[in-house]
Amino acid sequence: MAAQVSTSYISRVQLDRIKDSVLLNSVDTNHTELDRIKDSVLLNSVDTNHAERLRLKQQSDERASRWPNTLNVPEKREQGRTGLLLKKWSDRRWTELSAEQRRLQIEHANIILFDESDSVKGFHSNLQKSGTIQENELLVDYKKQIRVLQKAQEAAFVEQQRQALELAEAAEPKKFEEERERALKQKRNSVEAVGGHEVPYHR
């Protein structure tokens, strides 16, 4: 078999020769352009090597898949068995979850149907009415207590006003008498100051 030489990539020796010839021929290229050419050649050779390896691996796998006695066959059988067991387990688990979900939906639907029945509606209505009646009774009691407290406050206020009025009435004659005495005293002082002529006082 003749050795196949790939012509799609350039070896490092060939790259150095190209570089030397470019320098000898004094082509006007700068250092960055040479680096760019070098990088593109290297990348191209790496890509072609990688592509060639992938192609050979695929060919090898394709041929080995037709052989019954390779090392990969028992491993693949085991993987197939494991995959089948996993699939059975996941199918069983999915069936259980679906059944549980179905049971919950049926239970929820039954609760809704039960709540919508006439007897339950009547019970809820009566329960609500009894709650309302109890609240109304509590409200009536509360209003009665408020009225009793208001009446007690009014009675206390009236008593306080009566006591204040009595004190004012008891203090008024005394106050009136004091003012009269003060006025008379002032009159006497002014008469004495004027020279003894007294002005008659009218009550």
Residues 6+ apart with CB under 8 A from 64: 70, 72
In a domain, 123, yes or no: no
Cβ atoms of residues 187 and 201 within 8 Å: yes
Identify whether residues 51 and 78 lie together within a single domain.
no
What is the spatial distance between Cα 163 and Cα 144, in angstroms, rounded to a whole number?
A: 29
Query: How many domains, the chain?
Result: 3
The rounded distance, in Å, linking the Cα atoms of 18 and 23 is 9
Q: 22 lies in a domain? A: yes
Return the pLDDT at 166: 84
For the chain, residues with pLDDT lower than 50 are 1-3, 5-6, 27
Contact 197, 187 (CB under 8 A): no
Say if CB 37 and CB 52 are below 8 A apart. Answer: no
Give yes or no: residues 38 and 60 share one domain. Answer: yes
What is d(CA 148, CA 161) in angstroms, rounded to the nearest whole number? 20
The pLDDT value recorded for residue 9 is: 61
Considering the entire predicted model, what is its pTM? 0.27
Instruction: Give pLDDT, residue 128.
Output: 81
Query: Which residue range(s) make up the domain with 85?
Result: 72-117
Q: What's the pLDDT at 104?
A: 95
